[in-house]
Amino acid sequence: METLLLDANTWLLVLTGAGVSAESGVPTFRGMNGLWEDQPVTEVASPRGFAKDPLRVWRFYSQRRAGAADVSPNPGHDALVAWERHLGDRFLLATQNVDGLHRRAGSQRVVEMHGNLFTSRCSNPDCTRPPFPDTTVYASGTVPGCKECGALLRPHIVWFGEQLDPDDLTRIESFAVKAMRSGGRLVFLAAGTSGAVYPAAGMVDNVRAAGGETWLVNLDASENASSFEHFVQGKSGEVLPKLGR
Ligand code: BV8
């Protein structure tokens, strides 16, 4: 297997997707028995779907909240924690995953680009109540209401058609700019993602345009696999612990 050199000159930006949590038992979105198989994504992960049927959306997210609470990080998550401890502020992890497993494994320099299953917020944009930690698995048939304004609560998740948090995108971009300005070697590694969802799927192109090195660790060739210089095929829980040196 190729080796990823993590030396004093390396700045490492990692992007993870559902494949990194698959070995913890969290279902992925696409492919065999993926989450979206029996849930049309527009019906359960979009503002329109929530407006149309909040019960269905809360049933979908409550099931995932319960599932994610029951699983544990795997060696792929642990390898990323070790890389962060080795590289310090020359490491940043951007995750599309909303299951919270990276933080539970010990990752601290994490940007949860698509939000977090264990946070809810008021669906009323004019409400002053900020997003809050919420581990409640709401019983089927329940749509929780906001204590402050009475509007429906919603998962604090970025749905299709919704903008990502600009602060998150700025943090990721600033890391890459700082790496390039330092004269260091910017390395972008994507693991466990189908490369199907933007803007996350476009990160590899941005890094290549900036002259960075690109790696993909995935069970099979992702949609944007051809954009990566290095492709290590395999399970992230097996590949990541051996890849970094
Ligand atoms: C936005 C929350 C501005 C829900 C999610 C440019 C071009 C085309 C379209 C667009 C574009 N820009 C914006 C869009 C529209 C849209 C989009 O990208 N659509 C796609 C379908 C074409 N993007 C948006 O709407 C984004 N907002 O850009 O705002 C805007 C708005 C409208 C129009 C233009 C601009 C918001 C995107 C966020 C959506 N929310 N999640 C939830 O999680 O419940 S995305 C959803 O898919 C999940 O978060 C998930 O993380 C993400 C990506 O999936 P993956 O993580 O990659 O998982 P997947 O199952 O697909 O793949 C797993 C991979 O792992 C596989 O390859 C498999 O082989 C591999 N694997 C499996 N096991 C293992 C493994 N690998 C290693 N080891 C293993 N063991």
Where does CATH 3.40.50.1220 sit in the chain?
1-26+73-114+164-245
Residue 48: per-residue pLDDT: 94
**In CATH, what number does 1-26+73-114+164-245 get?**
3.40.50.1220
Asked whether the beta carbons of 45 and 98 are under 8 A apart, the reply is no
CATH homologous superfamily of 29-70+119-157: SIR2/SIRT2 'Small Domain' (3.30.1600.10)
Distance CA 83, CA 87 (A): 6
Rg value, the chain, Cα: 18
Amino acid occupying residue 154: R
CB-based contact 237:75 (threshold 8 Å): yes
Please, which pLDDT band fits residue 40 given cuts at 50, 70 and 90?
Answer: confident
DSSP symbols for 84-148: HHHHGGGEEEEE---S-HHHHHT--SEEETTEEEEEEEES-TT--PPPEE----PPTT---B-TT
pLDDT band per the 50, 70, 90 thresholds, residue 36: low
Which residue shows structure tokens 């399970």?
Answer: 235
- Mean pLDDT of the residues in the chain: 94
DSSP three-state, residue 239: helix
Q: Quote the pLDDT of residue 2.
A: 84
Average pLDDT on 138-161 reads 94
Q: Give per-residue pLDDT as tens, 152-205.
A: 999 999 999 999 999 999 999 999 999 999 999 999 999 999 999 999 999 999
Q: Could you read off the pLDDT of 41-80 as tens digits, one per residue? A: 878 899 999 999 999 999 999 999 999 999 999 999 999 9
For 215-232, how does the pLDDT look when each residue is reduced to its tens digit (9 = 90+)?
Answer: 999 999 888 899 999 999
| pLDDT confidence of residue 37 | 61
The predicted-structure confidence for 86-122, as pLDDT tens digits, reads as follows 999 999 999 999 999 999 999 999 999 999 999 999 9
**CA-CA distances (angstroms) from residue 77 to 9, 42, 106, 170, 181?**
23, 29, 9, 24, 29
Q: What pLDDT was estimated at residue 230? A: 96
- Give backbone dihedrals phi and psi of 214, rounded to 5 degrees, phi first: -130, 135
CA 105 to CA 82: how far, in whole Å?
Answer: 10
pTM, whole model, 2 decimals? Answer: 0.95
Pairing of strands 132-133, 115-122: antiparallel
Helix (H, G, I), strand (E, B) or coil at 218: strand
pLDDT for 32 equals: 54
Residue spans of alpha helices (H) in the chain: 18-22, 41-44, 47-52, 54-69, 75-87, 101-105, 166-181, 203-209, 236-243
Whole-angstrom Cα distance, residue 202 to residue 196?
9
Which tokens belong to 136?
A: 């409640």
The reply to whether ipTM tops 0.90 is yes
Coil, helix or strand for 15? strand
Q: What is the pLDDT of residue 29?
A: 79
Ligand 1 shell residues, CB under 6 Å:
17-19, 22-23, 28-31, 34, 45, 96-98, 114, 157-163, 192-194, 196-199, 218-220, 222, 235-236
Nearest to 24 by CA among 76, 81, 74, 82: 74
Catalytic residue among 77, 86, 102, 114: 114
Q: Is residue 86 among the annotated active site residues?
A: no
The residue contributing the CA closest to ligand 1 atom 64 is 193
